[in-house]
Amino acid sequence: MFSSNTSWTNRTHRLPLHPIWYPAIVIAAVYGFMILLGVVGNITLIKTFYAMKSMRNAPNLFMSSLALGDLLLLLTCAPVDASRYLADEWLFGRVGCKLIPFIQLTSVGVSVFTLTVLSADRYKAIVRPMAVQPANAKAKICIIAAMIWIFSMALAIPEAIFSDLHTFNITRTNETFVTCAPYPHTGDLHPKIHSMASFLIFYVIPLLIISIYYSFIARSLLWSASNMPGEENVPVRRQVETRKRLAKTVLVFVGLFAICWLPSHAVYLYRSYHYSEVDTSTLHFISSICARLLAFANSCVNPFALYLLSHSFQKQFNKQLCCCCPLGIGRPFFHCSTTNDSAQELHGN
């Protein structure tokens, strides 16, 4: 999904009198900042949920799986993507050309399919709250999370098979360069099929399913607003409010995914329908950079969105960060003090 003819940007825009193309350093620095921010945020999120047994419920386990996918993308694919602005050609060989797109698409699949399952989980918790939870609920959740990973990897296998190194030509300047492309370099049909299939499978269809789930959730919440338990039934009222907050959190995650990935899909669709020639315009160059940075930013924002949305997660997140500070050196993170009360907000069905 990411791999495409982008290395031309360095050749076209680099000033010939300067050995270093300074905007590339700025772009690489932005990538570096996002990687650092995302790694710290996602690792701390996973540690937070791991440290407290009371937080190991369905939505939080799925969020941990989501964070793991984001970590994979940030640690393997973001540095490779940044390197394209520092080098004229693909640096990672044929093996890297097949492995990196596979990892990228797997991570994207884990993100969007986990969000879909999270929406289904919130639908079940809000619309069908009386459904009996099986005794092995946590084991079932772990199996579902593992199946999401396996399914995402299966969908990414064609990416590994067909991705290969190809030579592209800039007719205007008569320059050629080698880069990694995720489809056979024969005709215009393959890139069109690839971009449209990626757009439908990893964006449109999951978001459509999520929209259906949330339409039922909204209808149920509107109905329950007029039938909310009275003050005498405080525990039930509190549980309903907790479920609402969790549904809102998942919806924010979905909205962030939709916003961050739409430009990337749009640019990729544009390229696939103009595959025969390389667009060297400044507008396309800037659009490509912004789209790619925004896509990778999606792997950074979820922990901090949850931090802003949940006061209890905020407190636990801060505690886990404190365990990594100099004052906490030498103490394992699971020895950090935690309280069940502060986890109440994130401990919903």
Q: What are the φ and ψ backbone dihedral angles of 310, each rounded to 5 degrees?
A: -125, 115
Check if the beta carbon of residue 118 is closer than 8 Å to that of residue 253.
yes
- pLDDT greater than 60 at residue 333: no
Check if the beta carbon of residue 114 is closer than 8 Å to that of residue 141.
no
Of all residues in the chain, what percent carry a pLDDT higher than 90?
Answer: 40
- pLDDT greater than 50 at residue 16: no
Of all helices (H) and strands (E), which one includes residue 221? Answer: helix 205-225
**Topology adopted by domain 8-346:** Rhopdopsin 7-helix transmembrane proteins (1.20.1070)
pLDDT higher for 249 or 116? 116
- pLDDT greater than 70 at residue 348: no
Instruction: Classify 183 as helix, strand or coil.
Output: coil
Token couple for 60: 């939080």
CA dihedral 76, 78, 82, 88 (to 10 degrees): 50
Least confident segment among 85-99, 292-306, 319-333: 319-333
Name the residue among 123, 117, 118, 116 with its Cα closest to residue 214.
Answer: 123
Please write the tens of the pLDDT for every residue from 295-323.
999 999 999 999 998 888 888 888 887 77
Instruction: Identify the pLDDT of residue 237.
Output: 67
Instruction: Identify the pLDDT of residue 145.
Output: 95
pLDDT higher for 204 or 216? 204
- pLDDT greater than 90 at residue 110: yes
Please write the tens of the pLDDT for every residue from 131-185.
656 667 788 999 999 999 999 999 999 999 988 887 776 666 677 777 787 776 6
Token couple for 163: 């991705």
The span from the CA of 192 to the CA of 22, in Å, is 34
Name the residue among 156, 124, 159 with its Cα closest to residue 140.
Answer: 124
Instruction: Identify the pLDDT of residue 51.
Output: 82
Mean pLDDT score, 244-259: 90
Least confident segment among 18-22, 32-36, 238-242: 18-22
In terms of Cβ atoms closer than 10 Å to its own Cβ (0-12, 13-18, 19+), residue 264 is buried
Instruction: Identify the pLDDT of residue 341.
Output: 43
In terms of Cβ atoms closer than 10 Å to its own Cβ (0-12, 13-18, 19+), residue 29 is exposed
Instruction: Identify the pLDDT of residue 177.
Output: 73
* Bridge partners, residue 177, by sequence: 168
- Indicate the residue type of 83: S
The span from the CA of 31 to the CA of 328, in Å, is 29
Token couple for 177: 């360069």
Domain spans, the chain: 8-346
Instruction: Identify the pLDDT of residue 339.
Output: 45
Sign of CA dihedral 201, 90, 275, 10: positive
Instruction: Identify the pLDDT of residue 224.
Output: 65
